Amino acid sequence: MKLSEMREWLVARNIQLTKSLGQNFLHDAAQLNRIIAAADLSSADKVLEIGPGLGPLTELLLVRADQVLAIEKDARLIAVLQERFSGHHSAFRTPHFELIQADALEFIKRERRDWHDWKLVANLPYSVASPILVELALSPQRPKQMIVTLQWEVVQRILASAGDPDYGVLTLFLQLNYTPRESFKIPASCFFPAPDVDSGCVTLVRRATALLAEEQHRTFVKIVKRAFSQRRKMMLKLLKTEWPLEKLQAAFAALNISPQERAEKLSLEQFVALTERLCAI
C-alpha cells in the first residue's frame, strides 16, 4: 500500500487521524518487507496483528499465513479494513481473516485466549505498546514469537542488559520468557504522518525452557516492580517492605548479592534466582 493510496482512502472517507491512538501508518514497502522477513512466516502460521490501521502490513500477512486475526480500535478504520479484505469485491477475500473491533489491551486481558501457537506481527500503537507486550509475555499461553514495531527508545529498553541506562522493568518482564533476536531501525519518514521519533522492529522468541515456573511469575513481578520503584535506592531496603529483612539478607548472602546493590546492576539470572529463594520462604 503506497502513501498515495493511504491518502486516497483517508480523504475519500474524510478520516482525520487521531494522535492519541498512535495512528502513524508504516507505508515504506522496503520496511514492511523487512518485518515480514523477520517474521519468517509459513502457510501454517497463525498471526495476531494489533493496530492494522489501513492494512499495509495486513495484506502481506494474508498471502503468507494460515490465519490472521487483526484487532483494531477505530471503527472508521474497521470499515476500511472490511472493504479492503472482507468485501465482495476484495482481491484479498479469504476465510482465514478475522477482524475484531476492540481495545487490544482490554481484549487480551478479557479473552485469555491460547496464543501458544501464534505469532504477534504488528506495528503496535505506541501509546499501549509496552502494556500489550508485557500482558502477552507474562501470560501462561504466550505467543511463540513477537515481531513488533515500536518507538526506538522502547526497543532499546527491551534489548538492554544489567548496568545499561535503559535496563529496567520492561527489560526483565519481556526477557524472562523471551530472547530478543534481530532488530533494525525505521526512520520516522517511513510513516504517515511522520512521528516525532524514530522507530524500530524487534523480534522476540519464546524461550524453549522457562526460567521460572508459572506460579512464580507473580513473585518475580512483585520483586522487579518494588526493586525499580526507586532506581537510586538500595533494593534490599525497598524489598524489606514486602519480605522479612532476615530472609532477604540470607537470600542476598546465598546469591552473593551485596546488601548495597541497586536493582539496575542485577542480571535477569540474579532476579530469577532471588525469586526462587523468596518463593521458598
Q: Are 157 and 183 in contact (CB under 8 A)?
A: no
> Count of CB atoms within 10 A of residue 232's CB?
7
Q: Are 279 and 217 in contact (CB under 8 A)?
A: no
Residue 247, burial from CB neighbour count under 10 angstroms (0-12, 13-18, 19+):
middle
Beta strand residue intervals within 2-161, DSSP E: 25-26, 46-50, 67-72, 97-101, 118-123, 145-151
- The CATH class of the 214-279 domain is mainly alpha
93 pLDDT band (50/70/90 cuts)? low
Structural domain boundaries of the chain? Answer: 3-206, 214-279
Dihedral, 32, 38, 42, 43 alpha carbons, nearest 10: -20
- The CATH class of the 3-206 domain is alpha beta
pTM over cut 0.85: yes
Task: Identify the helix (H) or strand (E) that includes residue 169.
Answer: helix 169-175
Higher pLDDT, 19 or 104: 104
Is residue 90's pLDDT more than 70?
no
pLDDT digit string (tens) for 32-76?
A: 999 999 999 999 999 999 999 999 999 999 999 999 999 999 999
Report d(CA 30, CA 256) in Å as an integer. 48
Residue 226, burial from CB neighbour count under 10 angstroms (0-12, 13-18, 19+):
middle
Provide the angle, in degrees to the nearest 10, between the axes of the packed helices 268-279 and 245-254. Answer: 130
Q: Are 69 and 52 in contact (CB under 8 A)?
A: no
